[in-house]
Structure 1
Amino acid sequence: MRAMEAFRPWRGGYLSKAQETERRLLARMACDVVEMLGHSMADLAERESSNAAEADPLAAYEAELSGVAGGLASSGRADPELADSERAGGRRPIDDAMFRLLPDMSEDPRQAEALREMTSASLSAAKAEHLFILWRSVNGATDDVWVGNEDMPGWISAINSIRLVLASRLDIQGEEDGREIYEVAQDITGANGKGNQREVQTPDELLRVLYTMVTWWQESLLLAARNKTPHR
């Protein structure tokens, strides 16, 4: 799954390549996190263009990767009304993934609750817009993944949101946990230098590989941005 290319600076933005399977995985994860935030990728796509087709642009993904979808979006959300109230503000999220996406803005509980009530809706909307930027970039007809200069901050924000949710589902609490996840993913993909790639056997292993994949891709875009010459 490491067949995707690192981002490289390009005139007007940054260019990478990813295989169709990788792009569909990323698109599905972006959709899942948007739904966690109380929005719909279809609505975001329709909002961007008044001439968008009436058909749901996500229909091709609905039957695929349902296990990953459940692992990202469903855990900790048994009560939809409760999840809606958390997004609406005034209550700290019970789901750890939602709390990582929308953390407290103050150590004082009352102030944190007040700030959450004032800002959670706008923050959720902004994060959903960023995830749409990422979804659009991986939803093209070719393996090219293009991120324009103007979209780069939103794209980084979006893939970080996906990383936060994956980290929650994997219960990553610190650097040591992250290293263990990385080592297991390397063993699965054959990136450990031993050349013994094997099939992903469990949903947990898939989450480990996905976490490593999106982390590596995010870092490649950040590195490309640092290395980009000013005239580009």
Structure 2
Amino acid sequence: MARAFSAGRKGITGHLEPAERDLLRKLFADIITMLEPSTAASEDPLAALIGLDMDVRVPTDPALLRLLPDAVRDDADSALEFRQLTERSLREGKIGALRAASLGLETDKIVLDNEGATLWAKALNDVRLVLAERLDIRDEEDAERVHEVQDWGEADDVESYLSLVYNFVSWLQESLVQAMLVSLQRAK
């Protein structure tokens, strides 16, 4: 069974069982697949080098839109222009954090320095955003509904299973953030 992250002299440490590590590895891989842009043969190499993506569109998948929301509301042209200038680097940053976190799943004991903890927090947050969208969590009442499912033996449908996964990832992220706060307080 997973043990919460904690701050110590060697950094932030946590423990995950093999099945938990496999679950996270699959979740991280799924989000990476969602975030990987389609490759265009006619892509301008200079535009790619500086991070421009003139062919970018607003995602049609609501979960992907939650990961890559419009930065400007009520002005579609400005939102698209901002997306063209920033989405490529945002995707690359998210993919990098997910890959780094996935690499940390090779052993039961996870030991993170400050940078690694930040990457893990970002990766777990992205997983939670996608799961929240799939579970249609919009407000506190929806979150309570999801938290009602507590036993893996009760997961007899997709929503129940996703609820348990969401609860596990939420708990893991919360313990990581708490450990990061303790680490910051000790550094003062």
Q: Structure 2 length as normaliser, TM-score? A: 0.85
Any idea what SS the aligned residue of 1:112 has? helix
Q: 1:130 corresponds to which residue? A: 97
**What are structure 2's unaligned runs of at least 5 residues?**
40-52
Q: State the match for 2:87 in structure 1.
A: 120
Cα deviation digits, residues 14-45 of structure 1 (max 9, x gap): 11111100110000000010011117xxxxxx
Q: Which residue of structure 1 lines up, in the alignment, with residue 119 of structure 2?
A: 154
Compute the displacement of 1:148 (Å). Answer: 1.7
Q: Distance in 2 between matches of 1:116 and 1:20?
A: 38
Q: What is the aligned partner in structure 1 of residue 48 from structure 2?
A: none
**3-state DSSP of counterpart to 2:181:** helix
Structure 1: distance between partners of 2:140 and 2:186: 34
CA distance in 1, matches of 2:97, 2:146: 26
Instruction: State whether residues 147 and 167 of structure 2, in contact with CA within 8 Å, keep that contact through their aligned partners in structure 1.
Output: yes
Structure 1, unmatched stretches of 5+, are 40-79, 82-87, 190-197
Q: Which residue of 1 is the match for residue 14 of structure 2?
A: 16
Match of 1:216 among 167, 171, 177: 171
CA contact (8 A) 1:90 1:114 kept: no
Give the distance between the partners of 1:215 and 1:205, measured in 2 at CA: 15
Partners of 1:25 and 1:99 in 2: how far apart?
23
* Alignment-derived partner of residue 72 in structure 1: none
The residue number in structure 2 matching 1:105 is 71
Identical aligned residues as a percent: 35
Partners of 1:20 and 1:199 in 2: how far apart?
22
Alignment TM-score, normalising by the size of structure 1: 0.69
Which whole-Å CA distance do the structure 2 matches of 1:105 and 1:199 have between them?
39
Displacement of 1:12 after TM fit? 4.1
CA RMSD, Structure 1 to Structure 2 (Å): 1.9
Aligned match of 1:60: none
What corresponds to 1:55 in structure 2? Answer: none
